Amino acid sequence: MPRDLEKAKAYHKAWYTANREKAKADQKAYRTENPEKIKARMKAWGKAYRTANREKEKAKAKAYRTENTEKERARMKAYYTENREKMRARAKAYRAKNSEKVKARMKAWRVENSEKIKASDKAYRRDLIRMQFIQAAMAIKQKLKH
């Protein structure tokens, strides 16, 4: 079998070399007539390649994101801005489907970040008291004017 395969490869290479212009014209015609087929095939090949080389692709993507941090932040911000409702619906569906996971993750986050939460609550209460004080002072000032 390998000999036959080698013979076939040699034949095809010789034919392509002899009929290069005809082959290019045929390829161009096929590409213009069947763009969906080509797109689907390329997508499948790309997916197969990425699956086979998952670690390599992850490393390449991570390196790109590291080098282009600002660009990536802007891209993600634009995407989430444009697809806000879609992302909310996806998150809601995920939470409904994985409620136990979400609850466990939130509980773990609260335990891990308890100091941050306490500081935030303290600042919120302080700001709330300040606002109430300002509103009360403004009301007294208004009463004194009249």
- What's the mean pLDDT in 80-88? 95
Rounded to two decimals, the pTM is 0.43
Cα separation, 36 vs 56, in Å, equals 28
Q: Which pLDDT score, from 0 to 100, does residue 8 have?
A: 92
Q: Which ranges of 20-83 does DSSP label H, i.e. alpha helix?
A: 20-33, 35-52, 54-67, 69-82
Q: Which pLDDT score, from 0 to 100, does residue 145 have?
A: 79
- What's the mean pLDDT in 77-95? 96
Residue 3 has pLDDT above 80, yes or no: no
Residue 25 has pLDDT above 60, yes or no: yes
Residue 112 has pLDDT above 60, yes or no: yes
Nearest one of 34, 55, 33, 36 to 44, comparing CA atoms:
36
Residue found by looking up tokens 């080698």 in the block? 6
Cα separation, 96 vs 90, in Å, equals 10
The 10s digit of each residue's pLDDT in 4-24 is: 888 999 999 999 999 999 999
The 10s digit of each residue's pLDDT in 118-127 is: 999 999 999 9
